Amino acid sequence: MNVFALLRWSYKEGLRSSAKYSTISSFQGSESRKYVPRRAVLYVPGSDERKLQKIPSLGADCIVLDCEDGVALSRKNEARSKIRHLLQSREIDFSGKDCSVRVNSVESGLCEEDLREVLSASHLPDTLHLPKVESPDHLDWFADKLKSTLRSHKTAEKMRLIIFTESAMSLLKLPAICQRGIELSEETPFVLDGVVFGSDDFCADIGATRTNEAKELLYARQYVVMVAKAFKLQAIDLVYIDYKDLEGLRIQSEEGAGMGFTGKQVIHPGQVEVVQAAFSPKPQKVEWARELVQAFEDHQQQGKGAFTFRGHMIDMPLLLQARNIIQMASVTSK
Ligand code: COA
Ligand code: MG
């Protein structure tokens, strides 16, 4: 299939499947799955006991216990067994945060052992993160391994799955990857919930020079948001690696939120507050949205379609944006 055929196909498939999956934009009226906010997605290296002990004080919505790139190759076993212990003992309080584990990629040769060790704990994480998904086949492989790993596990609820797109080829195949993830969600112990843009691996892959302004990534970021949203999945933006530069982080976070990302990866606790603020609707915006929805309903009852609200023309797309804002405010204010 050439790229254009792939895009046409994925558009149709996205429409067909869109009703079933809940992101913030489809959450209104979504019947089954609750929306898990992931404004700041914080990596904690699984091999680092000191950092793991900090989890109760980390305010991020989503804590990622990392087996992948935050862990040296020589310490993979240590990371697995620390994460297993942490899940098993429940000594660390996640208090409502999304407790997630990032395993190594399918091609690393380490993923199967990660799953075996980490998921042998009697308590499973809420979410798994699978990096460097290069093709739909990777998800087939992962689903198989997950099924066999969990064969004897009594799981009450499915785990969420977040996949990473981190290379040019992965981005090209992203619609087909998302589609396969959604199909597999019907029959495996995971349900696909989001896509992360892995910008540093992507830059290395395409030979781009990484800058704080990230102009070199504009197209890729917009593309990832578009595809993720076509499949009603969360879209998680790049890491701002200059972690001491909070002003640069604020600018990039607000830019990502404005582009449609639902959250952002962070590597340091000092980044959490800035990122979560950027991905939370501002009180004035929530008030605007509530008033707009009310005005829309009043006009509908009077049989009017488009109307003027605070000097702007309002029609259905604006109403949908307003509903997104109200929904995001309700899940992030708890
Ligand atoms: N998770 C939990 N705690 C963290 C943390 C993290 N990701 N990053 C830093 N901390 C803690 C430190 O342990 C330190 O606590 P202490 O003062 O009690 O020792 C405190 O926050 C301040 O940290 P700081 O001294 O400023 O940074 P550092 O030199 O300890 O660590 C990094 C800097 C970048 C190495 C560290 O933030 C890190 O490992 N981040 C994750 C990197 C990663 O996972 N990369 C792969 C994904 S892209
Ligand atoms: Mg990466």
Last residue of a domain, one of 280, 300, 321: 280
- With respect to residue 306, please indicate whether it lies within any of the assigned structural domains: yes
Residue 82: inside a domain, yes or no? yes
Q: Is there a single domain that holds both residue 210 and residue 311?
A: no
93 noted as active-site residue: no
Ligand nearest to the CA of 63: 1
Residue with CA nearest ligand 1 atom 11: 51
Same-domain check for residues 56 and 183: yes
Q: What is the pTM of this model?
A: 0.88
Indicate whether 157 and 243 sit together in one domain. Answer: yes
| 26 occurs within a structural domain | no
Residue 64 is part of a domain; what is its CATH number?
3.20.20.60
- Within a domain: 10: no
Q: What pLDDT does residue 22 have?
A: 38
Give the pLDDT score at 156: 64
Q: Using most ligand atoms within 8 A of CB, pick from 267, 271, 273, 275 the residue to mutate for ligand 1.
A: 267
8-state DSSP, 33 = P
Query: Residue 225 C-alpha to ligand 1 middle, in angstroms?
Result: 28
Question: In this structure, are 75 and 198 located in the same domain?
Answer: yes
Q: Which domain holds residue 319?
A: 284-332
Strands (E), 14-82: 40-45, 62-66
Residue 168 included in any domain: yes
In a domain, 99, yes or no: yes
Whole-angstrom Cα distance, residue 148 to residue 239? 33
Quick one: DSSP state of residue 34?
P
DSSP letters of 15-28?
A: HHHHTT---TTT-T
Is 4 part of a structural domain of the chain? Answer: no
pLDDT in tens, the chain (334 residues): 444 444 444 434 433 433 333 345 443 333 457 889 999 999 999 999 999 999 999 999 999 999 999 999 999 999 999 999 999 999 898 988 999 999 999 999 999 999 999 999 989 999 999 999 999 999 999 999 999 999 888 766 799 999 999 999 999 999 999 999 999 999 999 999 999 999 999 999 999 999 999 999 999 999 999 999 999 999 999 999 999 999 999 999 999 999 999 999 999 999 999 999 999 999 999 999 999 999 999 998 999 888 999 999 988 888 999 998 998 898 887 6
What pLDDT is attached to residue 11? 38
Are 160 and 203 in the same domain? Answer: yes
108 and 228: one domain?
Answer: yes
Q: Are residues 121 and 154 in the same domain?
A: yes
Q: For residue 231, give the 3-state DSSP assignment.
A: coil
Tell whether 17 is covered by a domain.
no
Q: Which of 259, 280, 301 is the last residue of a domain?
A: 280
Q: How far apart are CA 5 and CA 112, in angstroms?
A: 34
Shared-domain flag, residues 173 and 206: yes
The predicted pLDDT at position 269 comes to 98
DSSP string, 149-216: HTTT---SSPEEEEEEE-SHHHHHTHHHHHHHHHHHHTTSSEEEEEEEE-HHHHHHHHTPPP-SS-GG
Question: To test ligand 1's pocket by mutation, which of 101, 210, 268, 275 has the most ligand atoms within 8 angstroms of CB?
Answer: 268
Domain limit, last residue, from 280, 299, 318: 280
H-assigned helices in 196-309:
199-206, 218-230, 246-259, 272-278, 283-301
Q: Are residues 267 and 299 in the same domain?
A: no
| Residue 23 in tokens | 């992101």
Tell me: do 53 and 69 sit in the same domain: yes
Does one domain contain both 221 and 293? no
Q: Do 299 and 230 lie in a common domain?
A: no
Structural domain count of the chain: 2
